[in-house]
Amino acid sequence: MTETSILMEVKNVFKAFGEDWEREKVVENLNLDIKRNQLTAIVGPSGCGKSTVVNLLAGFESPDSGQIMMEGGAVSGPSKDRLVVFQETALMPWLTTYQNVTFGPKLRGDMPARSLKEAADRIIDTVGLREFKDKYPLQLSGGMQRRAELARALINQPLVMIMDEPFRGLDAMTRQLMQEFYLRLCEEEARTNVFVTSELEEAIILADSLVVLSNRPTTVREVIQIDLPRPRNLNMLSSPEAYDYKRHAMEMLHEEALKSFSGTESGSDFLKSYAQQP
């Protein structure tokens, strides 16, 4: 991953929801650079607004103020250049793996049939589903469904792949296998990725840049550059360097999570009790 120019810029973004008299600020003064051909991982305390950040980057939501730019142009709505793989499966159960993967290009009609078949076969091979291309989603394991989702996004050749906690809900072994698979895929494909996760170790092993968000209304608390060598493997998580990254990020996440308690009476009691701990 050699080219590090900025592909997307988030500039002073503010977003709130609700009616005027009870409007809740979710994102405030958010500034973020997404570098080309790198993986930017985003972590934050529970409920801070990570999904809102995903929706803003994807163009599903528009900022109330501020700008989101991509290659010099304003993001004004969804685009096949910015595709999201969500934590819930979006595979259509009445379509086979192959039909799910080719659905987008077929709907748009922007690929000749022969080119589409070649691209689909190549990508299905890449994600290891050649023997399952004629199976339906309910005939696939959880990990296979995740790989089919990836293939469906990859065939559109997005400039930015946005992953919204894609491995959440998988059992521990399947999640580890998907982490290893996605790690290899990212290093081979060298695509621009935004990976939102609640798992800090997952973020560290995947990321070039680790973005730590604050408590709501969320902003960027810090961006940590992850300098673990590539190619990577999960064993690197036991290295002193990975431990230092985890400790530093965990301290910030812990501080931000505690802030969510401070606005309530029970939260104040909790903080007092916590402060008195040895």
Domains and CATH numbers, the chain: 6-81+158-275 (3.40.50.300)
In this predicted structure, what is the pLDDT of residue 239? 96
Please tell me whether the peptide bond between 231 and the residue prior to it is cis, using omega within 30 degrees of 0.
Answer: yes
- Token pair listed for 5: 């120019």
In this predicted structure, what is the pLDDT of residue 271? 46
| 38 backbone dihedrals φ, ψ, rounded to 5° | -125, 160
Residue 154: what residue type?
Answer: L
Single pTM value for the model:
0.88
| 250 backbone dihedrals φ, ψ, rounded to 5° | -65, -35
Longest distance between any two alpha carbons in the chain, whole Å: 69
In this predicted structure, what is the pLDDT of residue 9? 96
- Token pair listed for 243: 């431990």
Q: What angle do CA 192, 196, 201 make, to 5 degrees?
A: 100
In this predicted structure, what is the pLDDT of residue 4? 63
Question: What DSSP element (H or E) covers 246?
Answer: helix 240-259
Q: CB within 8 A of 264, min separation 6: which ones?
A: none
The helix/strand/coil state of 192 is strand
Residue 48: what residue type?
Answer: C
Instruction: Identify whether the C-beta of residue 85 lies closer than 8 Å to the C-beta of residue 163.
Output: yes
- Token pair listed for 54: 């995903």
The per-residue DSSP string of 146-162 comes to HHHHHHHHHTT--SEEE
Residue 240: what residue type?
Answer: P
Helix intervals (H) in 74-141: 97-108, 113-126
| Neighbour-count burial of 68, counting CB atoms closer than 10 A to its CB (0-12 exposed, 13-18 middle, 19+ buried) | buried
pLDDT string in tens for the chain (278-residue length): 444 699 999 999 999 998 877 889 999 999 999 999 999 999 999 889 999 999 999 999 999 999 999 998 999 899 989 999 988 888 999 999 999 999 989 988 888 999 999 999 998 998 889 999 999 999 999 889 989 998 998 898 899 999 999 888 888 888 888 899 889 888 888 889 999 999 999 999 999 999 999 999 999 999 999 999 999 999 999 999 999 999 999 999 989 988 876 655 444 454 454 445 45
